[in-house]
């Protein structure tokens, strides 16, 4: 039941990267994700905001073509016959928009970290460009790459829950429980800096993931939010705890909690969806399991690639049940599915439909609408605010 | 480390019961709770609303003194030299107020099921009577009887979490996912009937437990709520799903979810409290464990009566760690602690301080203020509403 | 689906107790077990080996008839018109045989703690007396009183597993990891003393429980064992760790591990049974769950009294799914089922068949045969030894 | 605390592969493991036993140099200036010895799947060749690559458990519960065929992993075993269930259960080690957690790269705590550590000591001694048999 990831591998795509220099976290993750299934070769990069450091870092990583900055890279690659097939943008949030725009304008597919931008207007402008250029745009809401998340989505589409009633989402961490940004810790510094991170703290960093996965799995549009944001750590300029109520279409009710000040939580992303006929529960820290509870029957723990696991999960798996896959494999799946999309373009064919589940520009805009509405609601004493 | 529950047992108290006839759930639970630690003998009752059925039921249960109704019972017992020491009121919510008032006026201690009444004004009137008569009034928010809930409270009072920041409470069931009230199921019928249950459905039945346990453990007063109630099952007249945000004193933020339409949840009451220095997590379906997560240290799973378990937990335990205690023992603990309070009165001495943790009339009034505010908020499109 | 434990309660049986004085553990447990379902009244006792202390203890426990020793008690009760219906024997192992014999000879039903005796010949003699007197003899292998243990047994009898192949049993504790007996801790002192405990240490104390529950659930007879016993704590005279292989009838293979020197285990009794068609797993510390894994289907977690829970489990339950029951309720179930057996005798009727699952004298003899074979095997360098 | 896997990456090593053609499982795993950390490029292969199929498969996988068989490959590569740095041998067990010997004789480092060979004499011969050639020989007991397994080893070496007393190992699967080999399922066919798999069934396939991880973590040598093997599925020629007792040096006692007929177990490898001072528990299906239970303290759940996680775990990690890593990352770690060993040779320097934990030829011989002793014991009615 595991797909043979060995078979019929087309040529490796040429990947560029903007951002991801030494000391970062997500750049290294993107590089592994590009490499794990053997679908990409990293051949070009503008790794930091400083040319000399970028070149040194590129040499260490054996990236053959190093550029001083993303603008030079977009221009330079556009002219090459062996130009990159896609670029990965892994910079802080305030530096997503400009490179994304530049590479799209250069005719190059984009893989961009989330949240899409720091303002809704930027997001909309980018969406217009994507629409106009018809290029592929992948947004790395990586948790949608987990096999059992995709299975949950499929089961709901197949009607296993009947009409949905309630959605409970939570994403809790503890790494910002103290003022680590004051210690110079690089991740904390930019993520708590409005200038680089945008106006949403925990909301943008993890709240958007939580919101996205709920929409991905449920297939429902959120219509309004009532939010109460806090900054618990003295001196912190952005929110570090997010409480909110949600109203989805079709009268579905939800709650979302995102926190980076909850001791004992490393990376606790959990989703529960309840319908007329059944409930589903998934937790990222137990990613290989999906608990399905049909009303009136005992809960069933479906293992990735085990009994009851669907083709959509097998598509996103590499090894049999009981051999856990994790964060990197989920992240990889987005890259691998985007590779299929890109190859299909190169070969003028329709992509494998299973490869189309990667979040894209619309999800990016939805995320920015979410952030905007939540901030407005919180500033308006938690009044219900339309997305 | 386990207290010897055998030692030095004073005479069994004489208990009366109002309600609890055939087919009920909670009456049988109260009877076990009174019996388990050997502290009470059930000697008088008005078990149903029908005299003949009451007498038959009393005979079956070997209750020596059966009354036609609570009024006769209060009057009759008040005159006896061997009158009951306390009465347990286990009727539907709309029948708490009148018997509670009658027994208090008759000078008899009261053990009353929750929620206290169906209106805040009734609750306040009852509080006045309790204050005036100086009688003991226990409210069976039974989850406060669990040893590890008491330990969580104690740890927070001792400063193990530092200042609290975030409280997450949830109480989910699935037994009302369909219109079981239409099938005549007795529990469902009265709990979904505003006339008998009062205006709060899931809110009153389980939401008040959730609210109470959070206050009990955290020691914090809730100041305002923003609530969104739903009735998902067609034809249902009361709420079956409750979403809300909470603001506690000292800038603490909370969320509370109570649902009776969440398939896969039998009786999932869970509490998580996060402070500056640590987090605590407890779940009723794993009642013998308390997970304590000091920031920067691995989470510790403290077993009831095991390593790290405090005297306050041992007080509420009967057997060593690894020998699970459950719902009935937690319920019993309230009865046993109330027995100590009553005996102390009889003996003109101060009660064991560990026996004073039983919720009382003030918690009942607080619960009714909570219900009132939540209903008002929900009717006012989730506006923040003061308690 | 929960039986109404309120209905039609016959008169309380009169119970006597031998052993169970101050400082003991299991005596208090037996008293709660007798009381919890309201089926017994403790009216006579010989609580300690010292008459004065016995009388003082009886007074504290409000036991009306206190005897200087079990012999006086058996003789005295036998002559009373209101004599005890049954006696509970809760002394150290070396003091099971004599009182059991005395009360049986006096025509009184016996409830005896395990293991039955300290020698196989004593066990066989007792079995002969039970056979001759036709009295009821209950052996408190209390783990068989857990609802989901009984459900596991029922499912296997119903063929849910097909032919059984493999049985894995483990029972681990850590309380004897150091020489606590040297500190004078009462439980440790007698349980590590061959004179009082018999020749089997952990083997007798917990190994017999593990062996019994496997036989109870599987319905299979063990034919031979190959055992390797250890005493890890210096100076300890009895085994504190028991490793063994087992061969059951019908070519079933098993392993059993019992240890009292395994840090991190409070009272970890776990049973797994695997057949051609499915597996079953149960763990005492998660007693309300039974995991059923049909081959080729996702594992199902059956909650006590929840979906998929059988009548045999409901018989042994008091409250609905999600309201955990524990050690005391399991223990109680044996007492309650024995009460039904005794009442059926008094009423000259057949007992409820669900009340017949209580281990009896044959299980006691089987346990002694097990102990005897295991000790012989271990002394014979783990050679396979027939039971 | 996570090492930057981006930094200072030396050139990619040239890897060859013997076996691993279409339809296999482990070949694809080895390819991912070689690729994930970016340390190898697969440049040469003899993928199947048929030249034409091998060339086709190599073309699909973009392996530039395809050979008709391992002998041609060893000979061909040995003569090239850009010859492979190492070869991965991923054939069925009966085809480990000859290619391993050939490549070693050709001066090429070897990465070999387990068990090492099908006979102890072959294993010893290979060990002699490794000793003589001084080449690097890695044996892919991949579970030793898990960070928390390495942490467990380190904690034991640091004395966190004191003297070890008891080791419990189990490895259960269910995929051979029926005669799948009769359906032609490729994995099942060769693994149940003595000619290709050797004389040990579940024993060789998973029992050796279980044995190896216990030795790896405990640091103890097993001295003798008493084993009881079964073949439950009719017609099966090799064991599918393995029960055994073990005696380690220093009076440590153990039990090992390996089964491929245990429904509900996908790939349940679990190790528990108990010492005088503490216990450790790890389970492959929860690979990111290590439960450490100091005697007299509450158990602590140490998360990979979280609080309490050691440098030795960080060395084998890629992402922070709460971002699960799994089977492929553990497997990768062996490849990555072997890459460091090979580079150190190329650079005439000592390797990073953290990279030396990869099982090697001695572990392979130990595994064959284990298999040999277990088979002998089982054939000798479970008599204790020295390794």
What CATH code is carried by the domain that includes residue B23?
3.40.50.720
Residue B202 shares a structural domain with residue B262: yes
Strand partners, D257: D170, D243
Give the Cα separation of D302 and D292 in Å (integer).
7
CA-CA-CA-CA dihedral for A208, A214, A219, A224, to nearest 10: -70
Chain C residue with minimal CA distance to D295? C263
Domain containing residue D79: 13-142
Shortest distance between the Cα of D277 and any Cα of chain C, in A, equals 7
Give the Cα separation of D87 and D63 in Å (integer).
13
Residue D155 shares a structural domain with residue D211: yes
Chain D residues in contact with C381 (beta carbon < 8 A): 384
pLDDT number for residue C102: 98
Residue in D296, D301, D306 nearest the CB of B301: D301
Residue B114 shares a structural domain with residue B185: no
Would residue A166 count as lying in a domain? yes
- Full-prediction pTM beyond 0.95? yes
Token pair for A26? 């997500």
The pLDDT of residue C24 is above 60: yes
- How much is the average pLDDT of B284-306? 98
Residue A190 shares a structural domain with residue A61: no
Sorting pLDDT into bands at 50, 70 and 90, what band is A346? very high
pLDDT number for residue D7: 43
Residue B90 shares a structural domain with residue B158: no
Q: Are C115 and C198 in contact (CB under 8 A)?
A: yes
- Number of structural domains found in chain C: 1
What are the tens digits of pLDDT across the range B235-266? 999 999 999 999 999 999 999 999 999 999 99
Residue B301 shares a structural domain with residue B199: yes
pLDDT number for residue B10: 78
Would residue B339 count as lying in a domain? no
Q: How large is the ipTM?
A: 0.95
The pLDDT of residue A118 is above 80: yes
Contact B307 D301 (CB under 8 A): no
Contact A323 D322 (CB under 8 A): no
Q: Could you say which residues of chain D have pLDDT below 70?
A: 1-9
pLDDT number for residue D25: 87
The pLDDT of residue A190 is above 90: no
Would residue A235 count as lying in a domain? yes
Contact D6 A28 (CB under 8 A): yes
Would residue A328 count as lying in a domain? no
- How much is the average pLDDT of C193-222? 96
The pLDDT of residue B322 is above 90: yes
> DSSP string of B181-195?
GGGT-HHHHHHT-HH
Contact D9 A60 (CB under 8 A): yes
pLDDT number for residue D9: 64
Helices (H), chain D: 26-36, 51-60, 70-78, 97-105, 120-133, 147-157, 186-191, 194-197, 202, 208-218, 311-315, 327-346, 361-379
Chain C residue with minimal CA distance to A300? C300
- When scoring D210, D264, D272 by the number of chain C Cβ atoms within 10 A, the one with the most, hence best to mutate, is D264
Q: How large a percentage of chain A has pLDDT more than 70?
A: 98
What are the tens digits of pLDDT across the range C335-356? 999 999 999 999 999 999 999 9
CB pairs under 8 A between A and C: 32
pLDDT number for residue D2: 40
Token pair for A202? 């925990």
φ, ψ at B34 (rounded to 5°)? -70, -30
- How much is the average pLDDT of B141-163? 98
- Tell me if the bond preceding D211 is cis, omega within 30° of 0: no
pLDDT number for residue B9: 64
Contact D264 C291 (CB under 8 A): yes
- How much is the average pLDDT of C209-232? 98
Give the Cα separation of D122 and B320 in Å (integer).
55
Beta strand segments in A173-299, E = 222-230, 241-248, 253-259, 268-275, 278-283, 289-294
The pLDDT of residue B98 is above 90: yes
pLDDT number for residue C187: 84
CATH number at residue A310: 3.30.360.10
Shortest distance between the Cα of A240 and any Cα of chain B, in A, equals 11
What is the greatest pairwise CA distance in chain B?
64
- How much is the average pLDDT of A201-213? 97
Residue A34 shares a structural domain with residue A89: yes
> DSSP string of A22-67?
TT-SHHHHHHHHHHHTT-EEEEEEE-SSSHHHHHHHHHHTT-SEE-
Would residue A261 count as lying in a domain? yes
pLDDT number for residue B24: 81
CA distances from A260 to A28, A174, B23, B166, D181 (A): 22, 5, 48, 11, 51
Strand partners, A16: A44, A87
- How much is the average pLDDT of B139-149? 98
Chain D residue with minimal CA distance to A12? D62
- When scoring A177, A183, A306, A327 by the number of chain D Cβ atoms within 10 A, the one with the most, hence best to mutate, is A327
Residue A154 shares a structural domain with residue A124: no
- Tell me if the bond preceding D115 is cis, omega within 30° of 0: yes
pLDDT number for residue A360: 98
Strand partners, B289: B303
Residue B87 shares a structural domain with residue B187: no
| DSSP-derived pairing of the beta strands A13-18 and A86-89 | parallel
Q: Which of D126, D142, D158 is the last residue of a domain?
A: D142
Residue in A254, A261, A294 nearest the CB of B166: A261
| CB-based contacts of C342, cutoff 8 Å, min separation 6 | C13, C85, C86, C109, C136
- How much is the average pLDDT of C84-95? 96
Helices (H), A87-221: 97-105, 120-133, 147-157, 186-191, 194-197, 202, 208-218
Q: Which of A115, A142, A169 is the last residue of a domain?
A: A142
- How much is the average pLDDT of C1-28? 77
Give the Cα separation of D21 and D18 in Å (integer).
9
Chain A residues in contact with B168 (beta carbon < 8 A): 170, 257
Q: Which of D117, D142, D167 is the last residue of a domain?
A: D142
pLDDT number for residue D8: 56
- How much is the average pLDDT of C208-236? 98
Would residue C215 count as lying in a domain? no
What is the average pLDDT score of chain C? 95
Residue D129 shares a structural domain with residue D168: no
pLDDT number for residue C7: 42
Sorting pLDDT into bands at 50, 70 and 90, what band is A9? low
Residue B178 shares a structural domain with residue B275: yes
What are the tens digits of pLDDT across the range D185-217? 888 888 899 988 889 999 999 999 999 999 999
Show which residues on chain D lie within 8 Å of chain B, measured between beta carbons.
292, 296-303, 306-308
What are the tens digits of pLDDT across the range D111-170? 999 999 999 999 999 999 999 999 999 999 999 999 999 999 999 999 999 999 999 999
Residue in D300, D303, D306 nearest the CB of B300: D300
Q: How large a percentage of chain B has pLDDT more than 70?
A: 98
Contact A32 D318 (CB under 8 A): yes
Chain A residues in contact with C300 (beta carbon < 8 A): 297-301
Residue in D7, D35, D329 nearest the CB of A328: D329
φ, ψ at A222 (rounded to 5°)? -80, 135
Shortest distance between the Cα of A264 and any Cα of chain D, in A, equals 10
Would residue D358 count as lying in a domain? no
Would residue D278 count as lying in a domain? yes
What are the tens digits of pLDDT across the range C105-150? 999 999 999 999 999 999 999 999 999 999 999 999 999 999 999 9
Residue B157 shares a structural domain with residue B126: no
pLDDT number for residue D10: 77
pLDDT number for residue C25: 87
> DSSP string of C292-324?
EEETTS--EEEETTSTT--HHHHHT-SS-TTS-
Please return the burial class of B64, using the count of CB atoms within 10 Å of its CB with bins 0-12, 13-18 and 19+: exposed
Sorting pLDDT into bands at 50, 70 and 90, what band is A3? very low
What is the average pLDDT score of chain A? 95
Residue in A298, A302, A303 nearest the CB of C308: A298
């Amino acid at each position: 039941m595991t797909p043979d990831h060995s078979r019929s591998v087309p040529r490796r795509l040429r990947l560029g990267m903007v951002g991801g220099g030494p000391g970062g976290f997500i750049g290294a993750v993107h590089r592994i994700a590009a490499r794990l299934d053997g679908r990409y070769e990293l051949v070009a990069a503008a790794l930091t905001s400083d040319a000399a450091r970028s070149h040194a870092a590129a040499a260490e990583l054996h990236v053959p073509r190093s550029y001083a900055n993303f603008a030079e890279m977009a221009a330079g690659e556009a002219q090459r016959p062996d130009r990159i097939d896609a670029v990965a943008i892994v910079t802080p949030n305030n530096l997503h928009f400009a490179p994304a725009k530049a590479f799209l304008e250069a005719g190059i597919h984009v893989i961009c970290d989330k949240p899409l931008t720091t303002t809704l207007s930027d997001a909309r402008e980018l969406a217009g460009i994507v629409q106009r250029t018809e290029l592929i745009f992948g947004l790395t809401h990586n948790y949608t790459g987990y096999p059992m998340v995709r299975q949950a989505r499929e089961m709901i589409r197949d009607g296993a829950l009947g009409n949905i009633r309630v959605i409970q989402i939570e994403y809790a961490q503890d790494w910002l429980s103290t003022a680590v940004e004051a210690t110079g810790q690089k991740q904390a510094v930019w993520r708590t800096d409005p200038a680089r991170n945008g106006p949403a703290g925990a909301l943008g960093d993890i709240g958007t993931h939580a919101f996205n996965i709920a929409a991905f799995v449920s297939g429902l549009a959120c219509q309004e939010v009532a939010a109460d944001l806090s900054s618990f750590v003295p001196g912190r300029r952005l929110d570090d705890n997010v409480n909110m109520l949600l109203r989805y279409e079709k009268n579905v009710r939800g709650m979302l909690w995102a926190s980076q000040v909850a001791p004992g939580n490393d990376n606790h992303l959990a989703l529960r969806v309840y319908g007329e006929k059944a409930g589903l529960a998934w937790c990222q820290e137990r990613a290989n399991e999906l608990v399905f509870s049909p009303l009136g029957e005992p809960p069933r723990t479906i293992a990735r690639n085990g009994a009851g696991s669907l083709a959509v999960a097998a598509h996103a798996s590499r090894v049999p049940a009981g051999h856990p896959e994790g964060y990197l494999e989920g992240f990889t799946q987005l890259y691998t599915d985007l590779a299929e999309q890109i190859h299909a373009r190169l070969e003028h064919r329709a992509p494998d439909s299973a490869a189309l589940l990667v979040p894209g520009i619309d999800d990016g805009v939805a995320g920015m609408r979410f952030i905007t509405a939540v901030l407005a609601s919180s500033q308006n004493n938690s009044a219900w605010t339309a997305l």
